[in-house]
Amino acid sequence: MLEIKNLHASIDEKEILRGINLKVKPGEIHAIMGPNGSGKSTLASVLTGNEKFKVLEGEVFFNGKDLLELPPEDRAREGVFLSFQYPIEIPGVSMVNFMRTALNEHRKYRGEEPLSASAFLKLLREKKKLVEIDSKLTNRSVNEGFSGGEKKKNEIFQMAMLEPKLAILDETDSGLDIDALRIVANGVNKLKRADNAVIMITHYQRLLDYIVPDFVHVLYQGRIVKSAGKELALELEEKGYDWIKKELEE
């Protein structure tokens, strides 16, 4: 589904990603962990097309398409979704209008008719229930005045609406209390199918108790330096990253 080959990327002339290689197949859940500044969020931004970052080298294929050639909106329409670490507040744009516009652009891309207002509202209600989002939140402007937890839940709600093939969760767990974390994780698990995949970027093991990964990768200084099964996360939680750094130096 996703194949990243030797990806190098920079921001403000500073190289952050220095040769990432990663393959994700349908049905898989990958966790990417690593110390601060290792390039985790940069990877998420580059995959989704944030123009602040410059790709220097490498290729990314998504279901056979050259992802790096596509503008952000087309990557989304192809089925890539990013749950932002810091969702943006957009006063004046209502959640309903935002989601309806987004959903209909996806449909148009697939050559489908736009959803009628009533069908859209029905879907909205279903998905709200699925991810346990407060019904009042969708009556407001996008993320405006939302608490940290509400913003993260709102990201998962949007994911539920758009049904991506590949969801990239960028520190979706950071700053969440345990109840909110459970709700967010439940949402992700309910949306999981055999034909979609998840990349979770996180600092902590805790999220992985709820969303169990098939693979855990350690990102350090812009490269994936270690990949293993879910047991790696536990080891990292216990020992920190120093042992990996040491391994590398040896």
Partner 1 sequence: MSITKRVEEIEKQYIELYDQNIVQLADKSTLEVNSHRDKSFKNFQKLGIPSDRDEDYKYTNIQPFLRGTFEFNFVHQNIEAQLDDVFKCEVSELESYSVFIINGWYSEKNQIAGNLPDGVYFGSLAEAFKKHPKLIDKYYGRASKIERDGFTALNGMFAQDGVFIYIPKNVVLDRPLQIVNILTGDSDNVVFQRNLVVMEENSQAKILVCDHTLTPSKFVVNSVTEVFAAESVVLDHYTLQNQHNLTTQVAGVFVEQKSSSTVMTNNLTLHAGISRNNIYYKLDGEHCESYLYGLYVTDKNQHVDNFSFIDHAKPNCTSTELFKGVLDDRATGAFTGRVLVRKDSQNTNAYQSNNNILLNDLARISTRPQLEIYADDVKCSHGATVGQLDDEAMFYLRSRGISEEESRVLLMYAFAYEVIDKITVEPLKEQIRDLVEKRFRGEFDKCDFCVVCAEADSKMLNCF
Q: Which residues bind partner 1 (CB under 8 A)?
A: 48-52, 71-73, 75-77, 81-82, 84, 87-88, 90-93, 97-98, 101-102, 105-106, 109, 141-142, 158, 162
- By DSSP bridging, strand 29-33 and strand 215-220 are parallel
Of the pair 8, 106, the CB lying nearest partner 1 is at: 106
Beta bridge mates, 144: none
Q: How far is the CB of 74 from partner 1 (least distance, A)?
A: 8
Of the pair 11, 225, the CB lying nearest partner 1 is at: 11
Q: How far is the CB of 149 from partner 1 (least distance, A)?
A: 18
Of the pair 71, 145, the CB lying nearest partner 1 is at: 71
Which helix (H) or strand (E) covers residue 23, if one does?
strand 14-24
Q: Which two tokens stand for residue 5?
A: 């080959």
Beta bridge mates, 4: 22, 60
Q: How far is the CB of 220 from partner 1 (least distance, A)?
A: 26
**Within a 13 Å sphere around the CA of 212, how many CA atoms are in the beta-carbon half?**
3
Rounded-to-integer distance, Cα 55 and Cα 8, Å: 6
Q: How far is the CB of 153 from partner 1 (least distance, A)?
A: 16
Which residues have a Cβ under 8 Å from the Cβ of 183 and sit 6 or more positions away? 131, 132, 153
Q: At what angle do helices 95-109 and 148-162 cross, to 10 degrees?
A: 30
Dihedral angle of Cα 232, 235, 237, 242, to the nearest 10 degrees: -100
In the 8-state DSSP scheme, what is residue 178?
H
Q: How far is the CB of 168 from partner 1 (least distance, A)?
A: 10
Q: How far is the CB of 72 from partner 1 (least distance, A)?
A: 4
Of the pair 48, 202, the CB lying nearest partner 1 is at: 48
Of the pair 71, 240, the CB lying nearest partner 1 is at: 71
Which helix (H) or strand (E) covers residue 68, if one does?
none
Of the pair 39, 79, the CB lying nearest partner 1 is at: 79
